[in-house]
Amino acid sequence: MMKKMLCAILAVLTAASMFAACGVASSTSSAAGSTSQSGSGASGEPVELEIHFHSDNRHTLVDKDGNLLPVFELAGEATNTKIVNTANPVAQNSMEQFQLQAAEQFPADIYGGKSIKNTLIGYAMQGAFIPLNDLIDEYAPNIKAYLEENPDYKAAITSADGNIYMIQFRQAGTTGKAYFIRQDWLDKLGFEKPTTFEELETILYAFRDQDPNGNGEKDEIPYINERWRETIRLVNLWGARAYSSENFDDRTPVDANGKIYHAWLTDEFREGIEGLAKWYKDGIIDPQTFTRQTNTVKQLLWANKDVGGMTHEWLASTTMFNENEDILARTPDFRVESFLPVSANGEPFEEHRRSIAQPDGWAISANCEDPVAAIKLMDWFFTEEGNRAANFGIEGESYTMVDGKPQFTQEVLDTGAVNIYLRENYGAQLNLGYISVYDYERQWTNEAGIEAYEMYEDADIWSNTWTPPLNFTMEELKVYNRVISPLNTYQDEKITAFITGKEDIEAGWGAYVEQCKKLGADDLVEITQAAYDRYLAAQ
């Protein structure tokens, strides 16, 4: 009876889960009970642990030749386990890979990845992943200590049913992204950094018209972004919110009165989109912003050509262009610097900030034969040694200890995008369950980046309406999974059409709002409110 009911609920969760539904629930309860007879430990034959970890549509625990990455070799040695990667290293869609595993009832021991929380917890509450609470208490002293010292993190990773299923990734620090502008162009045209919306707009139009790159052509692109969804965030300049977490799919912030609302349906948002449509038409926004490939834009528009003016982006990976030798050989004055947010309406604010627990991490399958070995491996990443490996890689190779602190080698720093290099070559900086330290990033953030970090931290200009990581009940998850993808896909299409002028905002806005409601925008707000109220009550 219970099993039937669970299967019925699960079947509507996602299409893929229909394959998985019924076998999973039945095999659940025995797994947690088997922990006490585990033979895992520091001595004897290593315990084999199969791990399916797939993130960013490309990263797994192995390198291009299929060899286990050094951090996981080290983790295996330290915990007497033999880590076996079971994820397909050349597959290009992490979520698809995860859902394929669901269809096979999650046969590996550990599952992990980026942005998998809601999907994974949905399966977990049906028994596909085991509760970790007792395992942590008994076998994971380092995770346990961290949870005791960080109740906000503990609350964020505790599911609506009171269980912890997933050890989640946490990034240190608050500042993630900031506004950056070409300081050399400002100097050339005789501007100070903008402190008001009007000043910013004047500067962007001057970038367009006054040939700051000096080649005699009107080829400047005043505003650029690596991701077009980040460009949508510019509605912040008109006082509107766009996203409620670091995830572009989360669009339901909380207002000053504790009310959740859908950011993409407000009058302020419409005003912001009208502003962006004008900027797009006027050539202020990159005309190709909606079609460019992620992580090629700054390289293309700053390094290959000298045409990009302003952006809102990550600190380290943006300011590193100040030290790009090719750029400096061509444009010796090239320099991007940060400035604080401005606003056409009301108080300026920075919307983006780092979450106390990312929807990334890993969990133990109900099919895991040795959950004690699995939790001990996870616990190792909360030891000093494991945390250092996850952040910095391998001592003597990617870092050395200097005055008791890990310091990246010059070879690593010279790679530029240190995080990507570490992921691909060491298995450090993958979004598994560990705590990232800011010092890792500070080391490859140059002076302009650190200046931005300190400016934003000091100004404390974040909207106080950042939605904390929320945990849905099964019923709420059902609604979430039904609504989120069709609604966001529709919104992305329509808002893009409004900005690019393919559709008229005045004529189309009413129908857009109506359709969003038909697709469940109000239901989404309702379940988010319920989860947020629970979060507040748990404080």
146 vs 370: CA distance, rounded Å: 23
Helix (H) or strand (E) holding 399: strand 399-402
The nearest distance, CB 215 to Ca ion, in angstroms, is 5
- Specify the residue, 209 or 411, whose C-beta has the smaller distance to Ca ion: 209
Decide the pairing of beta strands 308-314 and 221-223.
Answer: parallel
Sign of CA dihedral 232, 234, 236, 238: negative
Q: How far is the CB of 357 from Ca ion (least distance, A)?
A: 45
State which H helix or E strand residue 418 sits in. helix 418-425
Helix (H) or strand (E) holding 189: helix 183-189
Nearest residue (CB) to Ca ion, 158 versus 213: 213
Closer by beta carbon to Ca ion, 305 or else 534:
305
CB 303 → Ca ion: shortest distance, Å? 16
Nearer to Ca ion, 208 or 233 (CB): 208
Q: Encoding tokens for residue 142? A: 């380092």
- Residue 215 or 288: the one with the smaller Cβ distance to Ca ion is 215
Q: Give the number of other Cβ atoms within 10 Å of residue 502's Cβ.
A: 11
Name the nearest CA neighbour of 53 among 295, 360, 357.
360
Cβ 121 vs Cβ 477: under 8 Å: yes
Query: What's the rounded Cα separation, in Å, for the pair 537 and 378?
Result: 29
**Residues found near Ca ion in the complex (CB under 5 A):** 211, 213, 215, 217, 219
CB of 202 to Ca ion, least distance (A): 18
- Between residues 215 and 345, which has the closer beta carbon with respect to Ca ion? 215
User: Smallest distance, Å, CB 218 to Ca ion?
Assistant: 6
User: Is the Cβ of residue 211 or residue 268 nearer to Ca ion in the bound state?
Assistant: 211
Q: In whole angstroms, how close is the CB of 307 to Ca ion at the nearest point? A: 7
Q: Whole-angstrom Cα distance, residue 448 to residue 59? A: 30
Between helix 70-79 and helix 371-380 the angle, nearest 10°, is 120
Given the complex with Ca ion, which of 210 and 409 has the nearer CB atom? 210
Of 211 and 395, nearer to Ca ion (C-beta) is: 211
Between 307 and 364, whose beta carbon lies closer to Ca ion? 307
CA–centroid distance for 75 within its chain: 24
Least distance (Å) between residue 204 CB and Ca ion: 14
Q: Least separation, in Å, of the C-beta of 230 and Ca ion? A: 24
CB nearer to Ca ion: give 104 or 219. 219
Least gap, CB of 192 to Ca ion (angstroms): 22
For Ca ion, the closer of residues 196 and 215 by Cβ is: 215
Q: Of 455, 427, 422, nearest to 441 (Cα)?
A: 422
Return the H-helix or E-strand segment holding 500: helix 474-500
Cβ at position 183, least distance to Ca ion in Å:
17
Smallest gap from Cβ 301 to Ca ion, in A, equals 12
Quote the least distance from Cβ 220 to Ca ion, whole Å. 5
Cα 13 from Cα 23, distance rounded (Å)? 16
Q: Give the span between the Cα atoms of 172 and 136, in whole angstroms.
A: 23
Angle among Cα 501, 275, 247 to the nearest 5 degrees reads 90
Q: Each residue of 2-27: b (16+ CB within 10 Å) or e? A: eeeebbebbeebbebbeebbbebbee
Rg, C-alpha atoms of the chain: 24
DSSP for 438-489, please give it: HHHHHTT--HHHHHHHHHHHHHT-B-TTPPPP----HHHHHHHHHHHHHHHH
C-alpha of 153 from chain center: 16
Specify the residue, 4 or 218, whose C-beta has the smaller distance to Ca ion. Answer: 218
179 forms beta bridges with 312, 339
As measured in angstroms, the least distance from the Cβ of 293 to Ca ion is: 24
Asked whether 308 and 224 are in contact (CB, 8 A), the reply is yes
At residue 408, φ and ψ (nearest 5 deg) are -60, 145
Are 352 and 176 within 8 A, CB to CB? yes
